[in-house]
Amino acid sequence: MSGTDSGRWQHSRSSATMRGLPAGCVGERGSMEQGSMEQGSETTTDAPTGLARFVPILSWARHYDRSWLRGDLVAGLAVAALVVPKSLGYAGIAGVPIQHGLYAAAAGTILYALFGTSRQISTGPSSALAAVAGSAVVLASVSGDDAVELVAAITLVTGLLFLLLAIFKMGWISLFLSKAVITGFLFGAAIEVVVGELPKITGTSIDGANAWRKFGNWIEGLGDTDGATLLVGIISLAVIVGIRFSRTKVPGALVLVVGGLVASVVFDFEDRGIALVGDVPRGFAAPSLPSVEYVVANFGTIGPAAVGLLLIGFSQTAGDARSFASKHRYRIDINQESVAQGMSNVGSGVLQGIPVSTSLSASSLNDQSGAKTPLASLTTGALIVLTLLILAPLFSELPQAVLAALIIDAVVFGMMDVPEMRRLFRVARVDFWIAIAAILAVLTAGVLAGVIIGVVLSLGWLVYINANPEMPVLGRRPGTQAFRSVEEYPDSETYPGLLVMRFDSGLFFASSDALEDRLRELAQDAETRYDTVVLSFEGVDFIDSQGSAKLGEILDLADTYGAEVRLARVKPEILNLLRLDGVIDTLGEHHVYPNVYEAAADRVEPRPTTS
Residues 297 and 392 in one domain: yes
Residues 510 and 443 in one domain: no
Residues 314 and 259 in one domain: yes
pLDDT at 25 over 80: no
CA atoms within 13 A on the CB side of 494: 23
Could you tell me if residue 391 is inside a domain? yes
What is the residue-averaged pLDDT of the chain?
A: 88
Residues 101 and 146 in one domain: yes
Residues 387 and 252 in one domain: yes
Residues 273 and 312 in one domain: yes
pLDDT at 6 over 70: no
Residues 152 and 269 in one domain: yes
- The count of residues in the chain is 611
Residues 170 and 223 in one domain: yes
Residues 219 and 113 in one domain: yes
Do the strands 532-536 and 498-502 form a parallel or antiparallel pair, or are they unpaired? parallel
Number of domains in the chain: 2
Contact predicate 500/536, CB 8 Å: yes
Could you tell me if residue 9 is inside a domain? no
pLDDT at 606 (0 to 100): 59
Residue 361 pLDDT class (50, 70, 90 cuts): confident
Choice between 145 and 6, residue whose per-residue pLDDT is larger: 145
Residues 443 and 497 in one domain: no
Last-in-domain residue among 405, 435, 461: 461
pLDDT digits (tens, 9 = 90+) for 401-451: 999 999 999 999 989 999 999 999 999 999 999 999 999 999 999 888 888
pLDDT digits (tens, 9 = 90+) for 44-90: 345 566 788 889 999 899 989 999 999 999 999 999 999 999 999 99
What does pTM read for this prediction? Answer: 0.79
Domain that holds residue 553: 474-604
Residues 295 and 442 in one domain: yes
Last-in-domain residue among 461, 492, 508: 461
Residue 493 belongs to domain with CATH number? 3.30.750.24
Q: What angle do CA 326, 332, 335 make, to 5 degrees?
A: 135
Could you tell me if residue 140 is inside a domain? yes
pLDDT at 48 (0 to 100): 66
Could you tell me if residue 32 is inside a domain? no
Could you tell me if residue 148 is inside a domain? yes
Residues 480 and 565 in one domain: yes
Could you tell me if residue 353 is inside a domain? yes
**DSSP 8-state secondary structure symbol assigned to residue 544:** -
Last-in-domain residue among 398, 432, 461: 461
Q: What is the C-alpha end-to-end distance of the chain, expressed in Å? A: 85
pLDDT digits (tens, 9 = 90+) for 453-483: 888 888 888 888 888 999 999 999 998 999 9
Contact predicate 549/516, CB 8 Å: no
- Please state, in angstroms and rounded to a whole number, the distance separating the CA atoms of residues 154 and 110: 20
Could you tell me if residue 576 is inside a domain? yes
- Please state, in angstroms and rounded to a whole number, the distance separating the CA atoms of residues 198 and 206: 9
